[in-house]
């Protein structure tokens, strides 16, 4: 045997296919760029300009993934929405600090380069970047045959935002009697999918033949950037929270200052049919609230006098509504009542 003829491709890594993918990204990423002459894709680093309109620029960074929602995408062989999810999970965290998303980078690790699958994912990422008005500045695609089994992959996102130092949303801005508003989600977003998949597997549900689940499980996460930044620029928001893993309690307590409490009326929450479906599979209320957004994708904390202004910013499908208020208490979170899963 002649060992002098061993190649990288024999080990499962195809550089030529990867190069084709980079060229595709380079072309499609131009749609997200403010400066059309600039193109960093394929280079060693990504370059972006700091907007001149911000007086005291402060950088905010966030990273996230979409969890085991990718397994649903694999199951249904549909990959055009998880890229939107990836961007949403990152940029929705940036705006909690008051930051405008500036640029986004992705990391894709996969068993074997599949151009059709990867192009579909990237198209979703580009769409998410356009919705959130940020630039796809670069990324990394790693072909890892020894780490991932056939057809398996993972994706991660990294976002950078910028905010005027005076407009950073700090905890101290939240005051007693501020209203807590729920901004509706459009479904599961990108959290709780390990539990959803456990239900599917345990009850032997054929998702491919279930029209309701096929639609619901791959709905892309709602991006709240445009509306939220509009309100931040008007100095109307005192605080906000992206409701992801851990549900309302875990995410609201992250922004509540010491000595204050988020008091929620659970009966005011407007859920969607997917949550009622999950509840009916045998998941109790506590587990639902600790795992899913339960219909509340984002929370805004405002003064009561600004409620009508906030309501006008969002379209009717995502119109914010009151679910509680801020009070003085040693505990950062309290809730009353029960969620009506059938509303």
The pLDDT score that the predictor gives to residue 20 is: 74
pLDDT digits (tens, 9 = 90+) for 73-101: 999 999 999 999 999 999 999 999 999 99
What are residue 83's DSSP bridge partners? none
Nearest-CA neighbor of 256 among 341, 149, 333, 200? 333
The pLDDT score that the predictor gives to residue 43 is: 64
The pLDDT score that the predictor gives to residue 45 is: 72
Domains of the chain, start order: 10-165 (3.30.1330.10), 171-336 (3.90.650.10)
What are residue 299's DSSP bridge partners? 182, 241
The pLDDT score that the predictor gives to residue 54 is: 86
The pLDDT score that the predictor gives to residue 39 is: 58
The pLDDT score that the predictor gives to residue 153 is: 95
pLDDT in tens, the chain (343 residues): 456 777 778 777 777 777 777 776 777 766 666 655 555 665 667 777 788 888 899 999 999 999 999 999 999 999 999 999 999 999 999 999 999 999 999 999 999 888 899 999 999 999 999 999 999 988 888 888 889 899 999 999 999 999 999 999 999 999 999 999 999 999 999 999 999 999 999 999 999 999 999 999 999 999 999 999 999 999 999 999 999 999 999 999 999 999 999 999 999 999 999 999 999 999 999 999 999 999 999 999 999 999 999 999 999 999 999 999 999 999 999 999 999 998 7
CB atoms inside a 10 Å sphere around CB 103: 23
The vertex-25 CA angle with 49 and 119, nearest 5°, equals 140
Q: DSSP readout, 46-79? A: ---PPPTT-SSEEEEEEEEE-TTHHHHHHHHT--
The pLDDT score that the predictor gives to residue 41 is: 60
Query: How far is residue 269's CA from residue 310's CA, in Å, rounded to a whole number?
Result: 18
257 backbone dihedrals φ, ψ, rounded to 5° = -70, 160
The pLDDT score that the predictor gives to residue 87 is: 98
Cα 322 from chain centre: 23
Q: In what order do the strands lie in the sheet with 100-110?
A: 57-65, 153-164, 100-110, 135-143
pLDDT digits (tens, 9 = 90+) for 33-43: 665 555 566 56
The pLDDT score that the predictor gives to residue 222 is: 98
Query: How far is residue 322's CA from residue 180's CA, in Å, rounded to a whole number?
Result: 6
């Amino acid at each position: 045997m002649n060992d002098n003829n061993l190649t990288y491709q024999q080990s499962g890594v195809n550089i030529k296919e990867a190069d084709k993918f980079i060229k595709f990204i380079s072309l499609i990423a131009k749609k997200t760029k403010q400066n059309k002459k600039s193109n960093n894709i394929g280079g060693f680093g990504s370059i972006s300009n700091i907007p001149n309109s911000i007086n005291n620029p402060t950088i905010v960074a966030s990273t996230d993934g979409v969890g085991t929602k990718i397994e649903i995408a694999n199951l249904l062989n549909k990959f055009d929405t998880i890229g939107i999810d990836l961007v949403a999970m990152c940029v929705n965290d940036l705006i909690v600090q008051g930051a405008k998303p500036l640029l986004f980078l992705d990391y894709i690790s996969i068993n074997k380069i599949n151009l059709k699958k990867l192009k579909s994912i990237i198209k979703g990422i580009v769409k998410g970047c356009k919705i959130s008005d940020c630039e796809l500045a670069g990324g990394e695609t790693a072909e890892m045959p020894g780490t991932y089994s056939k057809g398996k992959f993972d994706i991660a996102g990294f976002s950078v935002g910028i905010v005027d130092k005076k407009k950073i949303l700090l905890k101290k801005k939240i005051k007693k009697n501020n209203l807590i508003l729920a901004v509706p989600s459009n479904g599961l977003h990108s959290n709780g999918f390990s539990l959803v998949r456990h239900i599917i597997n345990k009850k032997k549900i054929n998702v491919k033949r279930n029209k309701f689940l096929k639609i619901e499980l791959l709905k892309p996460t709602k991006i709240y950037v445009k509306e939220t930044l509009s309100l931040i620029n008007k100095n109307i928001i005192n605080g906000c929270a992206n409701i992801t893993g851990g549900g309302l309690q875990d995410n609201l307590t992250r922004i509540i200052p010491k000595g204050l409490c988020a008091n929620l009326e659970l009966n005011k929450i407007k859920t969607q049919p997917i949550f009622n479906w999950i509840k009916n599979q045998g998941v109790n209320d506590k587990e639902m609230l600790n795992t899913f957004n339960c219909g509340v994708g984002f929370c805004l904390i405002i003064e009561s006098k600004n409620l009508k202004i906030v309501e006008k910013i969002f379209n009717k499908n995502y119109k914010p509504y009151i679910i509680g208020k801020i009070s003085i208490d040693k505990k950062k979170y309290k809730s009353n009542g029960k969620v009506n899963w059938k509303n």
